[in-house]
């Protein structure tokens, strides 16, 4: 016995990595760190990566566990191992993976003006979650759900509440275009304020299904609230993005 095994009883000794035991299989944890090193070009194509022995020590795991991680990368075609020589990077990971999240209204609207969302059957949803600062609710809302795709791959799962009286003005458009884009063009909608909150989250069962990612994998959850001059909330959009697509650029002090 005596050695540091994988123990479920969290009361047990600190295990590998000296970090909190996440109980994600170790070989997967190691694999994703290695994968990221390749993605970040810390190891470029053609480079020999660290030896099994070095990795064993760095991650404090058994040799077989490192091998398991490397076999995984090999099956992804990222590396190739040669007995007696080492393990070499053969391919790099896709890099243009960013979804730009908007920080002002125009850059929010412009890119999605002509998007065609895939509308999902709308389950009834009791009431939109409103927070203190959001404003006062409209008398009634319509609830829509949709998936946005890019190159056939889903990159956003949207749950949207639209004030019923605005929805009525262009109900057909709302089912074929992105709600915010439609909203921004409705004359009767005097948009006076729009704010967005972004948090790092984890995919729940719905998001995982619709985005084709695994349950609990990191996501960015954006919540966009649009209101009129009286503070009445016209639109609430909750949009979930896969975490590895999201990028936010913020000008803190703009260049002259």
Partner DNA sequence: CTCAATTTGTTCGTATGTATG
Partner DNA sequence: ACATACATACGAACAAATTGA
Residues lying near DNA in the complex (CB under 7 A) are found at: 1-9, 11-14, 16, 23, 25-28, 49, 51-53, 60-65, 67-68, 70, 81-87
Full DSSP string of 132-154: GGG-EEPS-EEEEEEEEEETTEE
- From residue 44 to residue 63, the character string flagging contacts with a copy of itself as x (rule: CB under 8 A) and all else as - is --------------xx----
Distance CA 126, CA 108 (A): 28
Q: What is the DSSP code (8-state) at residue 176?
A: T
Measured from the CB atom, is 172 or 256 closer to a copy of itself?
256
Q: From the list DNA, a copy of itself, none, pick the one residue 84 interacts with, judged by a Cβ distance below 5 to 8 Å according to partner type.
A: DNA
Nearest approach in angstroms of CB 56 to a copy of itself is 13
Q: Which of 162, 189, 220, 234 binds a copy of itself (CB under 8 A)?
A: 220
Of 145, 137, 134, 127, residue with least CA distance to 238: 145
Nearest approach in angstroms of CB 166 to a copy of itself is 16
The burial class, CB within 10 Å (0-12 / 13-18 / 19+), for 158 is buried
Measured from the CB atom, is 17 or 105 closer to DNA?
17
164 binds a copy of itself (CB under 8 A): no
Distance CA 8, CA 21 (A): 9
Q: Which of 51, 136, 176, 197 binds a copy of itself (CB under 8 A)?
A: 197
Cα of 208 vs its chain's centroid, Å: 10
CA distances from 178 to 33, 39, 148, 158, 239 (A): 37, 33, 9, 10, 12
Measured from the CB atom, is 117 or 242 closer to a copy of itself?
242
CA angle 44, 45, 49 (to 5 degrees): 65
Measured from the CB atom, is 62 or 191 closer to DNA?
62
Question: Residue numbers of the site for a copy of itself (CB under 8 A)?
Answer: 4, 6, 17-25, 28-29, 32-33, 36, 58-59, 72, 75, 98, 102-105, 108, 191-205, 208-209, 212-220, 224, 229, 243-244, 246-256
């Amino acid at each position: 016995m005596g050695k540091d095994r994988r123990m479920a009883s969290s009361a047990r000794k600190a295990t590998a990595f000296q970090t909190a035991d996440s109980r994600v299989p170790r070989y997967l944890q190691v694999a994703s760190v290695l994968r990221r090193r390749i993605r970040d070009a810390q190891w470029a194509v053609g480079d020999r990566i660290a030896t099994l022995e070095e990795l064993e020590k760095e991650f404090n795991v058994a040799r077989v566990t490192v091998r398991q991680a490397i076999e995984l990368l090999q099956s992804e075609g990222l590396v190739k191992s040669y007995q007696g020589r080492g393990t070499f990077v053969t391919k790099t990971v896709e890099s243009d993976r960013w979804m730009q999240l908007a920080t002002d209204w125009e850059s929010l609207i412009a890119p999605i003006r002509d998007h065609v969302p895939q509308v999902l059957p709308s389950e009834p949803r009791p009431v939109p979650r409103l927070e203190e600062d959001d404003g006062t609710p409209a008398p009634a809302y319509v609830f829509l759900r949709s998936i946005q795709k890019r190159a056939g791959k889903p990159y956003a799962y949207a749950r949207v509440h639209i004030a019923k009286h605005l929805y009525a003005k262009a109900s057909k458009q709302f089912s074929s275009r992105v709600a915010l884009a439609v909203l921004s063009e409705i004359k009767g909608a005097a948009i006076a304020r729009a704010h967005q909150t972004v948090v790092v989250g984890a995919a729940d069962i719905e998001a995982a299904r619709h985005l084709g990612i695994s349950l609990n994998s990191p996501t960015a959850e954006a919540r966009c609230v649009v209101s009129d001059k009286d503070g009445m909330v016209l639109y609430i959009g909750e949009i979930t993005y896969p975490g590895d697509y999201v990028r936010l650029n913020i000008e803190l002090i703009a260049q002259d």
